[in-house]
């Protein structure tokens, strides 16, 4: 019985951890662009969007009468617009609306401006020996009427930057926090707008450098590399400590060992 109780407790803990990871209270976006930036200037973009929002914001030629989404049509919409390496995930449904995830790889973040559906943004990546300055200005939407959609006006749009290094300054604007916000989990920045404001082309952020630009100053060294070095250093220190303890234990044991009697 004690063994089964332990097993049941373990299962319960795992279930609670899984529930926590799913985070059902996390903010849901009708359209979301996540930019994973790297210190060499390369980038990955993940777009999570409803098909209706893709029509309304980026002029995706969708036929609302279709019961399913053709992933190849979505992939070609991006790939044929100069987006390079494009991958499209399985569609899903939320609140009765169809959603899709699109992944785009770019050797240079500045080249994303030539990707049609991402071309409403201009990107600036400037690096010095110790700092990186990143600017992204999102322009007006270039969409059309998606037809009858069960939107109620509360739908949100988000642009996220996953910074590769320690953030020194940013001008995040989140609706939940007022005009300014803070980084999530250390290096994730989120700028938010309502879908209606994004369709109207209202500025996404306030910047003294460029009106409406999302702006970030960050370090030039990758957090990942720094973490790996710290982990490697900690592992090496732990290994040396174990070796030292073994050596001390063996030496003490030799000292305490009785001497063999003379023949």
- Containing 248, the helix (H) or strand (E) segment is helix 223-256
153 and 35 share one domain: yes
Tokens of 163: 């910074």
- Of residues 114 and 18, the one with the higher pLDDT is 114
pLDDT class of 246 with cuts at 50, 70, 90: confident
pTM over 0.85: no
State how beta strands 97-106 and 92-94 pair.
antiparallel
Q: What is the DSSP letter of 177?
A: T
235: containing domain: 223-263
- pLDDT of 237 > 80? The answer is no
Most confidently modeled range among 54-68, 74-88, 218-232: 74-88
| Token output for 89 | 């995930």
Same domain, 93 and 181: yes
In a domain, 3, yes or no: no
The token duo for 78 is 């991006």
Shared domain check, 122 and 230: no
Q: Is the pLDDT of residue 56 over 90?
A: yes
Same domain (yes/no): 58, 158? yes
The pLDDT value recorded for residue 222 is 79
Closest to 171 (Cα-Cα) out of 219, 201, 213: 213
pLDDT category at 60 given cuts 50, 70, 90 is very high
User: Are residues 116 and 227 both part of a single domain?
Assistant: no
Task: Label residue 4 by pLDDT band (50, 70, 90).
Answer: very low
DSSP state of 184: B
**pLDDT score of 31:** 98
Q: Are residues 129 and 178 in the same domain?
A: yes
* Contact status, residue 46 vs residue 36, Cβ threshold 8 Å: yes
- 238 in the same domain as 187: no
Please return the burial class of 255, using the count of CB atoms within 10 Å of its CB with bins 0-12, 13-18 and 19+.
exposed
Least confident range of 6-10, 58-62, 236-240: 6-10
Flag whether 18 is in a domain.
no
Give the chain's domain count.
2
Does residue 2 carry a pLDDT above 60? no
Q: What is the mean pLDDT of residues 231-256?
A: 64
pLDDT digits (tens, 9 = 90+) for 101-139: 999 999 999 999 999 999 999 999 999 989 999 999 999
Whether residue 164 sits in one domain with residue 50? yes
Q: Does 161 reside within a domain? A: yes
Residues 191 and 91 grouped into a single domain: yes
Residues 231 and 118 placed together within one structural domain of the fold: no
pLDDT at residue 160 in the model? 95
Summarised one tens digit per residue, pLDDT across range 139-192 is 999 988 998 999 999 999 999 999 999 999 988 866 655 544 556 666 899 999
240/261 same-domain check: yes
């Amino acid at each position: 019985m004690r063994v089964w109780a332990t097993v049941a407790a373990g299962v319960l803990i795992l279930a609670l951890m899984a529930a926590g990871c799913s985070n059902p209270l996390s903010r849901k976006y009708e359209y979301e662009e996540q930019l994973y930036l790297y210190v060499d200037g390369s980038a990955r973009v993940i777009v999570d969007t409803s098909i209706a929002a893709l029509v309304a914001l980026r002029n995706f030629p969708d036929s609302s009468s279709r019961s399913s989404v053709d992933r190849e049509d979505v992939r070609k919409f991006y790939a044929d617009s100069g987006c390079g390496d494009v991958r499209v995930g399985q569609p899903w449904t939320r609140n009765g609306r169809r959603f899709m995830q699109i992944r785009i790889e770019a050797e240079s973040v500045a080249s994303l401006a030539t990707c049609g559906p991402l071309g409403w943004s201009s990107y600036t990546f400037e690096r010095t020996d110790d700092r990186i300055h990143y600017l992204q200005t999102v322009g007006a939407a270039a969409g059309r009427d998606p037809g009858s959609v069960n939107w109620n006006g509360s739908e949100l749009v988000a642009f996220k930057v996953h910074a590769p290094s320690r953030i020194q300054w940013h001008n995040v604007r989140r609706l939940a926090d007022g005009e300014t916000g803070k980084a999530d989990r250390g290096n994730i920045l989120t700028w938010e707008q309502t879908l209606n404001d994004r369709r109207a082309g209202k500025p996404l952020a306030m910047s003294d450098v460029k009106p409406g630009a999302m702006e970030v100053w960050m370090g030039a060294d990758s957090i990942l590399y720094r973490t790996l070095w710290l982990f490697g250093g900690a592992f090496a220190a732990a290994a040396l400590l174990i070796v030292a303890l073994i050596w001390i234990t063996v030496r003490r044991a030799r000292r305490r060992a009785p001497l063999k009697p003379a023949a």
